[in-house]
A and B are shown apart, each in its own frame.
Chain A
Amino acid sequence: MSAQPRGQNLTHSIVQNLGVAIVTGIYSVKKPFPVEAQLCKQYGASRSVLREAVKMLTAKGLLGARPRQGTWVQPESNWNLLDPDVLRWLLERKFSYSLLVEFAQIRLAVEPKAAALAAASRDAVKKAEIQKGIDRMIAAEQGDDDPLESDIAFHAAILRASGNRFYAQLPELISTALRFSIRMTNRQKGVRLASVADHEKVCTAIMAGDIAKAEAAMEFLIQETLDLIKKAQAAGALREGRR
């Protein structure tokens, strides 16, 4: 049971609720955002709880607020896609291939470099987590672990093993997007599971300290994902066209 008292939970659920409402266009740049008093009434919250929620949405780039000018919805280009909540709301809003393509493009930039840094790293403890991820993926093939969680654990372990503090902050974001994209790419391939063998190649190269091979193997992995998403996107567009 959560020990969090009501205020904390309430703020969080108001943030979720308003965040989804903004992302789905219930409130938008064109439609005015409700005044504070109305929202307090709607959520049965005090002004201070509501203000905290609004401040959090402001930090995520969804809302702008200024004294005497009130609160407004920011244009979509201001939304902070690098915030895991925002990314999740957007992906949930309406399954969007183009958002997944864009996300895979950034993974294609980041993850091969992270794999290269991990191969160069001497942090045996963090590198061992990568091997654990692979072990979990293999177990998942036998139905002894969760295929999605083990895949996420593998990618997160590499980012953490890179020894770069910026990469080490990406696992949450990557996990959010992977939850959507892995399901889709696995479905597309006709196999439920991601290719463990291809993942293992990355792991083997990192463990062997082979920087170039680690980078290339990870690039292959993400490029494959990107190609699958694009293929699904094209097939989806075709279906749309026939309608």
Chain B
Amino acid sequence: MIATGRGQNLTYSIAEDLGVAIVTGTYSSNSPFPVEAELCKRYGVSRSILREAVKMLTAKGLLGSRPRRGTWVQDEENWNLLDPDVLRWMLERKFSFALLIEFTQVRLAIEPKAAALAAANAGPSDRAAIAAAIAGMIESERLQDDPLEPDIAFHIAILHASGNGFYSRLGELIEAALRFSIRMTNRQTGVRSVAEHKKVSDAIIAGDAKRAEAAMQALVEDALAQIRKAEQAASPRQRIRAAKARA
């Protein structure tokens, strides 16, 4: 079955289907990537549509292709982890604590600095977006609803409020990982987390860059600690599997 992902079109869903197959190791040096004709038949598409999907996966570093040499799966170190699709496929389908920890380390570098910049640069619409996200988190806590969406909106709003195009651009990537990791960390921290988020937002609204940076750092460090705890709690079998995947 072809999962109809975010992209509406056929090209994207083929890319997604093949992308997931690649990250889960369906194709490897032992089972080489299928030839074009076979894939066209499997998906019932024209060669030009299939080639577009292959080109998308090439741009994501998953495939290499060259005329007369065909198409092959690239080594994992070439996969573009900074591509939100690749990150999502890997977290959803080939989960490893190591990858999530590495990504959270990146967040720990990025998000406190973004919060500091946001305290200096946030415009009225940025502030409104941050405040709305906090209000959403408080509301979902009151209703005992899933706080995932407002929580993601909070982190994205701060990246945008930084006024730095590079931080804004990371929003999509951070969203892909947060969709995955927030559930894990919320399960463990629960209620406390809304107050911690509000500290960041208060500091940004007050224009206090130092306090915003420190509060965001505490938040992400807490998330990192939760993930490490979850890793510890994971069954030994899962840990061995993750270690093997890493090796």
Tell me the A residues contacting B by CB distance below 8 Å.
Answer: 4-5, 7-8, 47-48, 51-52, 55-56, 59-60, 66-67, 77, 80-82, 99, 102-103, 105-106, 108-110, 112-114, 117, 164-170
Contacts and interface: CB of A to CB of B under 8 A. Distances in A.
- For the residues of B in contact with A, the DSSP-based class is helix
B51 A164 contact: no
Interface size class of B (residues with CB under 8 A): 35 or more
A119 B105 CA distance: 15
Nearest to B47: A48
Given A8-B66, A48-B51, A52-B51, A102 B105 contact: no
A5 B67 CA distance: 7
B109 interface: yes
Contacts of B112: 109
Given A8-B66, A52-B52, A166-B82, A110 B109 contact: yes
Contacts, number: 88
Given A48-B51, A166-B81, 16 more contacts: A5-B67, A47-B48, A52-B51, A55-B11, A55-B55, A59-B59, A59-B60, A102-B165, A109-B109, A109-B112, A109-B113, A109-B114, A113-B105, A164-B105, A166-B102, A169-B80
A56 B108 contact: no
A170 B105 CA distance: 14
Nearest to A98: B165
28 contacts: A4-B66, A7-B67, A8-B66, A51-B48, A51-B52, A55-B11, A55-B52, A55-B56, A56-B55, A66-B8, A77-B165, A80-B169, A81-B165, A82-B82, A102-B165, A103-B166, A105-B164, A106-B110, A106-B164, A106-B167, A108-B113, A113-B105, A113-B108, A165-B77, A165-B102, A166-B102, A167-B106, A169-B82
A166 B106 contact: yes
A52 B55 contact: yes
A166 B84 CA distance: 12
Interface in B17-72: 48, 51-52, 55-56, 59-60, 66-68
